[in-house]
Amino acid sequence: MVAVADLIPERATTIAEKYDIPKWYDNHHDLNSDPNVDAVIITATTMNHKEIVLDAVAERKPIFCEKPMSLSIDDARAMKSAVEAHGVFYQQGYMRRFDKGFAADKFWIWPFMILTSRAGIWATLKLSMPSVAFWHILK
């Protein structure tokens, strides 16, 4: 990670120091215009997604935006139109780090993961409470 932005400077500096991130900004405009930033991850409050996405699109940055995309269908359509018009990569995502089932899966399965030098596929099977997750390795 090369930069972090937060409207509250103390939060930005705290994260930058904790994770050894070389730059911090108190606004998304400066982060998006930084030539060293190759892509952006948007974890801001939902009501701010549209503005940040449109700014990142204008700077031609690939985007990962946490869900929900927006609070209105009109904002979502504006974001979609901008992404398509500029040909920018956009992914709508869901961060699982706070999901209790996902955390439980990791806790129980982590000791049994098999690691090789080839490739791995993360798979989650929704069988019952809690779900079972495992690491499957291809040879």
Which pLDDT score is estimated for 119? Answer: 40
Sheet with 63-66, strands from edge to edge, namely: 40-42, 63-66, 90-93
Is this prediction's pTM over 0.95?
A: no
- Residue ranges of the alpha helices (H) in 19-133? 28-33, 49-58, 73-86, 100-109
Cα 27 from Cα 36, distance rounded (Å): 16
Phi/psi region, residue 114 (left: phi>0; alpha: psi -120 to 50; beta: rest), is beta
Q: For residue 58, what are its two tokens?
A: 């204008």
pLDDT averaged over every residue in the chain? 79
The radius of gyration computed from the CA coordinates of the chain, to the nearest angstrom, equals: 18
Cα 110 from Cα 52, distance rounded (Å): 36
Dihedral sign of CA atoms 41, 45, 49, 52 in order: negative
CATH tag, 3-93: 3.40.50.720
Residue range 18-55, pLDDT digits in tens: 999 999 999 999 999 999 999 999 988 899 999 999 99
Contact (CB, 8 A) for 138 and 118: yes
Residue 130 pLDDT > 70:
no
Which pLDDT score is estimated for 3? Answer: 94
Domain boundaries, the chain: 3-93, 100-138
Cα 117 from Cα 33, distance rounded (Å): 38
